[in-house]
């Protein structure tokens, strides 16, 4: 039978599947269910420096190609989040699961402070969500759109975590012209891994009401529709960064074959998100089984046997 355990940075995960940030929140019981269902790690919903109530409803809608949402980074603030993360980690540890904590902030300095506070819960990894507006920028351009800004955030977080032993993965956005340049800038400042990708900006309009469906007008598209975009990004990054920088391939994975494609493109871990809106954590069990079946059919004993095989 195929071996799904995966070596990632300084840890071994029971499965390459990682629950993506924002899908099921940060509730410890829900995270526990995900680990039981087969997640190697669970990523918390992004937390920032202060509590945020997020956007007014409607904030999310199922669409034929996935889900489009504009939640608005709802969170209790990083100080309140620490207790939630600590409980989640304790529950996951009993099941062999890992906790990845996602953070965001409005300034470079705030990213460092949020990372410092979040580290108190001792997650196995901190995922740095840089697809948020830089309020210090004249136009509020997201940190993910600019290599110097992305690098500055990475440097701030690494400095804040110095001595903690907690690695970081920087989560990149797909709607940039220079993805590899941005990734290399983050790695140069100490990023241990890269998460690719965040959601793709999009919009739905109600033709009968004559206005956008989401209260925020536009939002982030996830699900099957973005899988080709995510695959292209993972492939590009794996080719540019090489095998020494692990990639968490995220975007549109809803089957074992989707997961296999991510591995073939060079991903080390595979983020799973929107499929659980319809199926719940049981989707993880199914995807793991389908991935294992694929490996058996292809004669692959481990994920290392075909990781990056599609690369030139």
Q: How far apart are CA 225 and CA 64, in angstroms?
A: 9
Calpha distance 84→95 (Å, rounded)? 17
| Cβ count within 10 A of residue 210 | 7
CB 128 within 8 A of CB 103: yes
Q: Which residues contact 60 (CB under 8 A, 6 or more apart)?
A: 67, 68, 69, 70, 71, 214, 219
Query: Residue 209: is it exposed, middle or buried by C-beta count within 10 angstroms (0-12/13-18/19+)?
Result: exposed
Residue whose token pair is 């095998």: 243
CA distance 169 to 187: 9
Largest CA distance in the chain: 57
The catalytic site residues sit at 132
Cβ burial of 37 (10 Å; 0-12, 13-18, 19+) is buried
Integer distance in angstroms from the first to the last C-alpha of the chain? 29
């Amino acid at each position: 039978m195929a071996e799904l355990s995966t070596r990632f940075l300084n840890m071994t995960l029971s499965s390459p599947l990682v629950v993506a940030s924002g899908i099921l929140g940060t509730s410890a019981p829900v995270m526990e269910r995900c680990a039981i269902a087969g997640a190697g790690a669970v990523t918390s919903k992004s937390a920032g420096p202060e509590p945020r109530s997020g956007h007014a409803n409607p904030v999310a809608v199922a669409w034929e190609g996935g889900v489009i949402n504009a939640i608005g980074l709802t969170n209790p603030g990083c100080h309140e989040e620490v207790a939630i993360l600590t409980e989640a980690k304790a529950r996951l540890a009993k099941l062999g699961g890992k906790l990845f904590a996602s953070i965001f902030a409005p300034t470079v300095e705030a990213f460092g402070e949020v990372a410092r506070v979040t580290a108190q819960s001792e997650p196995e990894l901190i995922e740095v969500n840089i697809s948020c507006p830089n309020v210090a920028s004249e136009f509020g351009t997201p940190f993910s759109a600019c290599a110097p800004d992305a690098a500055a955030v990475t440097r701030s977080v690494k400095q804040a975590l110095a001595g903690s032993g907690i690695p970081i993965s920087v989560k990149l956005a797909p709607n940039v012209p220079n993805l590899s340049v941005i990734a290399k800038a983050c790695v140069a400042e100490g990023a241990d891994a890269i998460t690719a990708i965040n959601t793709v900006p999009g919009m739905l309009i109600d033709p009968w009401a004559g206005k956008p469906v989401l209260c925020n007008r536009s939002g982030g598209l996830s699900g099957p529709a973005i899988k080709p975009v995510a695959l292209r990004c993972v492939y590009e990054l794996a080719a540019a960064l090489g095998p020494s920088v692990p990639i968490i391939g995220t975007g549109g994975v809803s089957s074992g074959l989707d997961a296999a494609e991510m591995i073939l493109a060079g991903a080390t871990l595979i983020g799973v998100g929107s499929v659980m809106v319809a199926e719940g954590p049981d989707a993880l069990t199914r995807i793991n089984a389908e991935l294992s079946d694929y490996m058996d059919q292809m004669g692959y004993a481990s994920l290392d046997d075909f990781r990056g095989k599609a690369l030139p």
